[in-house]
Amino acid sequence: MNLSLYSIRKNEANNQGTFVFDLKPELHFLRDVENTATIVLDCPSNYTITQTTYDQAKLTLIVDYTDDMEGISCQLTISYNPNVTTLANNTLNFSVISNN
């Protein structure tokens, strides 16, 4: 599995960020991401993940934040449901740098 950061868009008016990750090859079972994987975003900030989707090899997290996350270091971990697949967990370390 290849996991990489695709983009981060920040909506300052709503204190919301859209984090998009490439997860290839495409895993069709992740379209039901809520039941097939556990997604953990670990950042030293105050935030809530309000939506998680996966489509066409893109994992998208909508994040509401109370403290600006720009420039901080984060870690994304994807743990797959063992009843669905035997894939190993994926982990990605990245810095939050929005590109909007």
Residue 43: half-sphere exposure toward Cβ, Cα within 13 Å: 25
What's the confidence (pLDDT) of residue 100? 61
On whether the CB atoms of residues 18 and 60 are closer than 8 A, the answer is: yes
Say which CATH number the domain at 46 has: 2.60.40
- Kindly report, residue by residue over 82-96, the tens digit of the pLDDT: 999 999 999 999 999
Domain carrying residue 34: 2-95
- Kindly report, residue by residue over 73-84, the tens digit of the pLDDT: 999 999 999 999
Q: Which two tokens stand for residue 43?
A: 């950042």
Label residue 46 by pLDDT band (50, 70, 90): very high
pLDDT tops 90 at residue 34: no
CB within 8 Å of 50: residues ≥ 6 apart? 16, 62, 63, 64
Do the domain assignments include residue 100? no
